[in-house]
Structure 1
Amino acid sequence: MSRFVARLLVVVSKQATVRGSISQRRTPAIIRPSIRALSTSHGLQSLTRYDETTDWQKKLTPEQYVVTRERGTELPFSGIYLNHYEVGMYHCVCCDAPLFSSEAKYDSGTGWPAFKEAHGTWEQDESHTSIIRRPDNSLGSAGTEVLCKNCDSHLGHVFDDGPEPTGQRFCINSVALKFKPRRNKESENPEKN
């Protein structure tokens, strides 16, 4: 129990540091998740994998940290990838795992980048993707959270009101993503003279 309390104090002090650094400079607004009741059961696991060798607060910007590690959300219509239409792949900002192809991106009108399916989806099978789904009630009703399968970073949520053929709308925070453009084949294989 005392280890749990000590860990809780470390997390709370880190959150205070992040909040202080966010308020000191102009940054995009982030909606913080509501406070949730904590369980005191033995063997309590973090909401995200805790790798003691990774200091997420040093690796990420304050905005990225709040969204990916604390399950925050960008304000609608504020993300850099909302109106982004370059061809390429969207990767996890924490671990660089490929998450969504630009070919699956569409304008949902909701204020966040939206994708029809995760990269690696084959028909309804997501076993070869870099995402996992988890039930989530933080939005006020039953929902489904989308996480990176590799590092458990919070990416956003998935809804059943997307376009055909999948009917899915992956509503993803821009700060949880890192875009890599598709390289032109000519630049990969320069002509030999």
Structure 2
Amino acid sequence: MEQSETPTGDEEWREKLSDDQYRVLREAGTERPFSGEYVDLFEDGTYRCGGCGSVLFSSEEKFQHGCGWPSFSDAEEGAVEFREDTSHGMNRVEVVCAECEGHLGHVFEDGPEPTGERYCINSAALEFDADAQ
């Protein structure tokens, strides 16, 4: 799948995305824990941004954390950017798509080695491409 054309305005984003995708990607919303379609998916493949189609994560980096959201130990090089997030009275590191700046989730320092990081990502922010057999 090729990277899709990125919308340029709010109206285009609303036309392209489902209500859940819009709430997560454009309004920095969060899914309820254990409600996303990729929480328990462990097939080989690639996870892309649900907004623009950029490759973000490999299934090789996905692991079971039990937090209620898909968890990855690392992102593809240059695919994501980090921002300080002080919402809800917490200090967290927000993860956004480097291409379209869509909110993906947050990164925490309680993941497996070698990175020690856990990218806690909303399923609504992702699209999954299974590896062809």
Aligned match of 1:14: none
* Matching residue's letter, 1:183: A
* Matching residue's letter, 1:138: S
Aligned match of 2:82: 133
Aligned match of 2:41: 84
Determine the C-alpha separation between the residues in 1 that align with 2:66 and 2:59.
Answer: 17
Aligned match of 2:104: 155
- Which of 143, 161, 173 pairs up with 2:92? 143
Does 1:66 find its partner at 2:23?
Answer: yes
Determine the C-alpha separation between the residues in 2 that align with 1:53 and 1:174.
Answer: 21
- Which of 55, 62, 68 pairs up with 1:111? 68
Does 1:99 find its partner at 2:56?
Answer: yes
Deviations 1:145-167, CA, capped at 9 Å, x for gaps = 00000000000000011111100
Deviations 1:81-128, CA, capped at 9 Å, x for gaps = 0000110000001100000000000011100000000023xxxxxxxx
Aligned match of 1:182: 131
Aligned match of 1:45: none
The secondary structure found in structure 1 opposite 2:84 is: strand
* Structure with greater helix share of residues: 1
Determine the C-alpha separation between the residues in 1 that align with 2:10 and 2:116.
Answer: 39
Deviation at 1:141, TM superposition (A): 1.8
Deviation at 1:72, TM superposition (A): 0.2
Aligned match of 1:26: none
Determine the C-alpha separation between the residues in 2 that align with 1:148 and 1:139.
Answer: 22
Identity over aligned pairs, percent:
49
* Matching residue's letter, 1:62: D
Structure-1-length-normalised TM-score: 0.63
* Matching residue's letter, 1:114: S
- Which of 142, 152, 164 pairs up with 2:113? 164
Deviation at 1:75, TM superposition (A): 0.3
Deviation at 1:138, TM superposition (A): 1.2
* Matching residue's letter, 1:166: T
The secondary structure found in structure 1 opposite 2:25 is: helix
Deviation at 1:52, TM superposition (A): 3.1
Structure 1 segments of 4+ aligned residues over 6 angstroms from their partners: none
Aligned match of 2:13: 56
* Structure with greater strand share of residues: 2
Determine the C-alpha separation between the residues in 1 that align with 2:92 and 2:84.
Answer: 6
Point out which structure has higher relative CO (alpha carbons under 8 A, 6+ apart).
Answer: 2
Distance change >3 Å, CA 53–CA 169, structure 1 → 2: closer
Structure-2-length-normalised TM-score: 0.91
